[in-house]
Amino acid sequence: MELKDLKALVKKGEGYNLEFKLKTNHPDKIAKEIAAFANSGGGKLLLGISDDLVLKGLKYPDEDEYLIEKSIKKHISPIPEYSIERIKLDSERDIVIFDIKESEEKPLFYQNDTEEKKIFVRNEDKSIQASKEVREILKGQSKDRSFRFEYGEKERILMNFLEKNQQITVSGFSEIANISKKNASRTLVLLVLAGVLKVSPNEQEDVFMSKESET
């Protein structure tokens, strides 16, 4: 990547597949972001960028790379696939770019020194803990098989609702179809795995929508 390309990328700001960090003061937290990228669509983590999008660079990039790679091996399992690139600034400092690939083996787990293993995914420009539904979707996506479903009354109610309202939650589906939340959850997960719906993870409650809908 050329410096001009880097500047154009930073100008876009953080998003679903782009995260900035100024320093590596908390490598364990950075590992969480990397795990979330690998569980989602992949992404780039840029080190040496301030909150106001200024390219500050790293004075000791070798040390920063070492700390992040050590944290990845310590806190993420299985270890995600990634590459590293450096961009030299006019100040002679470096921007370090971790390019994280979307994992074929999902879900990837993150664990710090004090808590149990957790699964994180991306939601816009944040990394959030995956819901039960998203965890099941990640597990299903890593299996080499097709998913089928029967188009029954509850599916008909769901698709009619989505034609008018674009999106729905597990609790919302449970209510309109008069089924249990467990049944609603299982149905929505299966429809995502079958390629009929897509899911947008959310800290409050995940949102499900048809594949044709805009995110």
Give tens-digit pLDDT for 15-38: 999 999 999 989 999 999 999 999
Residues 109 and 152 in one domain: no
Q: Output the pLDDT for position 213.
A: 61
Q: Output the pLDDT for position 144.
A: 64
CATH number of 138's domain: 1.10.10.10
Q: Output the pLDDT for position 150.
A: 80
User: If you average pLDDT over residues 77-99, what whole number do you get?
Assistant: 95
Residues 109 and 139 in one domain: no
When the pLDDT of each residue in the chain is averaged and rounded to a whole number, the result is: 92
45 Cβ contact partners less than 8 Å away, ≥ 6 residues apart = 19, 20, 21, 30, 33, 34, 37, 97, 98, 100
Query: What band does 97 get if pLDDT is binned at 50, 70 and 90?
Result: very high
Residue-range definition of the domain harbouring residue 82: 3-129
Residues 142 and 60 in one domain: no
Residues 109 and 168 in one domain: no
Q: Please indicate, yes or no, if residue 26 is contained in any of the structural domains.
A: yes
55 DSSP assignment: B
- The C-alpha atoms of residue 185 and residue 125 are separated, in whole angstroms, by 26
Q: Output the pLDDT for position 149.
A: 75
Residue 144 CB neighbour total at 10 angstroms: 5
Residues 74 and 162 in one domain: no
Residues 75 and 155 in one domain: no
168-184: per-residue pLDDT in tens?
A: 999 999 999 999 999 99
User: If you average pLDDT over residues 94-123, what whole number do you get?
Assistant: 93
For residue 116, what are its two tokens? 């149990």
145 Cβ contact partners less than 8 Å away, ≥ 6 residues apart = none
Counted domains in the chain: 2
Residues 14 and 62 in one domain: yes
Q: Please indicate, yes or no, if residue 215 is contained in any of the structural domains.
A: no
Residues 152 and 105 in one domain: no
Residues 43 and 117 in one domain: yes
Query: Quick one: what percent of the chain has pLDDT higher than 70?
Result: 98
131 DSSP assignment: P
The amino acid occupying position 203 is: E
Residues 24 and 102 in one domain: yes
In sequence order, what are the beta bridge partners of 49? Answer: 55
Q: Output the pLDDT for position 143.
A: 72
Query: Quick one: what percent of the chain has pLDDT higher than 90?
Result: 81
Residues 51 and 147 in one domain: no
User: If you average pLDDT over residues 95-106, what whole number do you get?
Assistant: 95
Residues 63 and 159 in one domain: no
User: If you average pLDDT over residues 144-163, what whole number do you get?
Assistant: 86
pLDDT higher than 60, residue 215: no
User: If you average pLDDT over residues 102-118, what whole number do you get?
Assistant: 91
- The C-alpha atoms of residue 110 and residue 35 are separated, in whole angstroms, by 7
Query: What band does 1 get if pLDDT is binned at 50, 70 and 90?
Result: confident
Distances in Å between the Cα of 157 and the Cα atoms of 133, 148, 168, 172, 186 are 20, 18, 12, 12, 15
Sheet holding 207-210, edge to edge: 167-168, 207-210, 197-200
For residue 77, what are its two tokens? 């399992």
